[in-house]
Amino acid sequence: MTRKKKLPRFPYDYLGNKANEYNSQIWMERNQKETSYRCINYLFDPKLGENIHQEYSEYMILDLGCGTGYSSEILVDFGFNVVAIDLLEDMLLKANEKKEEILNKEIVYELILANINKLPLRNNSFDFIVSVSAYNFITYGKKNNNEKIKVLNNTAIQLNRILKENGKIIIEFYPSNENELNLFLDSFKNNNFDGFVIKDKPQQKGGQTFLLLRKIQ
């Protein structure tokens, strides 16, 4: 996939040969992995509350919308137990190729074909959730704010359900404007999460944005 200013067409820009192109872009790999490092650091931001100090291998983490597996690769390298999900089989097949190369029998690493809105995962099973450049797509094609709010609230409820007590979420995404950012943040705050926003360039209305969230109930 060539680098463009316009937003990708979901799912069409991630299927077939497009998935191959996505997976072969050096700049994409670099950006995804750098962002994944940032997400891990943000998990332990003291403003989200203290973590029990453990080895990474004692944490279970969900990679939400893992794509071709760049983010999962970093999580596995750190030693987390990882469950990674994606809606698109073509992307997940690429992630599975990486999995075969980095398989570590001492930790969990599972790939699941699933929808973020309908997670086939047990209650209270994850310490952390991260999502790199995927969360925007849960509202793709929704025509108005009411439709977006419904999807966002339902997804926040799902994520709350699978997180352990005081579990944490880091979401990196690209809101198009301040209104969209507030819709995403409010969906969590209205469903028993607390948290805040980090932007490298706070004056920008859109651009790369991180949501740092903690389950409070």
Give pLDDT tens digits for 62-118: 999 999 899 999 999 999 999 999 998 998 998 998 887 776 667 899 999 998 888
| Per-residue model confidence (pLDDT) at position 52 | 65
Query: What confidence tens digit (pLDDT) does each residue in 17-71 have?
Result: 776 777 778 888 899 999 999 999 999 999 998 776 678 999 999 999 999 899 9
Whether 10 shows a pLDDT value over 80: the answer reads no
If pLDDT is split at 50, 70 and 90, which confidence band does 216 have? very high
For the chain, which residues make up each domain, given as ranges?
A: 12-49+58-215
As a whole number, the mean pLDDT across the chain is 88
Report pLDDT for 12.
Answer: 57
CA-to-CA distance for 162 and 120, rounded, in angstroms?
10
Strands 126-132 and 60-64: parallel
Q: Note the pLDDT of residue 6.
A: 58
**If you ran DSSP here, which 8-state letter would residue 117 be given?**
T
Q: Is 199 exposed, middle or buried (0-12, 13-18, 19+ CB in 10 A)?
A: middle
Query: Which pLDDT value is given to residue 103?
Result: 66
* Per-residue pLDDT at 137 exceeds 50: yes
The residue assigned the tokens 């994409």 is 28
Instruction: Supply the pLDDT for residue 13.
Output: 65
The β-bridge partners of 64 are: 85
Structure token digits, residue 11: 């799912």
Predicted pLDDT at 158? 95
Residue 15: per-residue pLDDT: 64
Residue 3 pLDDT level (bands cut at 50, 70, 90): very low
Average pLDDT over residues 170-174: 95
Residue 1, pLDDT above cutoff 70: no
Query: pTM of the prediction?
Result: 0.90
Q: How would you classify residue 67: left for phi > 0, otherwise alpha for psi between -120 and 50, otherwise beta? A: left
pLDDT of residue 165 exceeding 80, the answer is yes
Q: What is the chain's alpha carbon radius of gyration, rounded to the nearest angstrom?
A: 16
Taking each helix axis from N to C terminus, what angle separates 145-162 and 178-189, rounded to the nearest 10 degrees? 40
Identify the CATH number of the domain defined by range 12-49+58-215.
Answer: 3.40.50.150
Nearest by Cα to 116 from 125, 129, 99: 129
What are phi and psi for residue 137, nearest 5 degrees? -70, -15
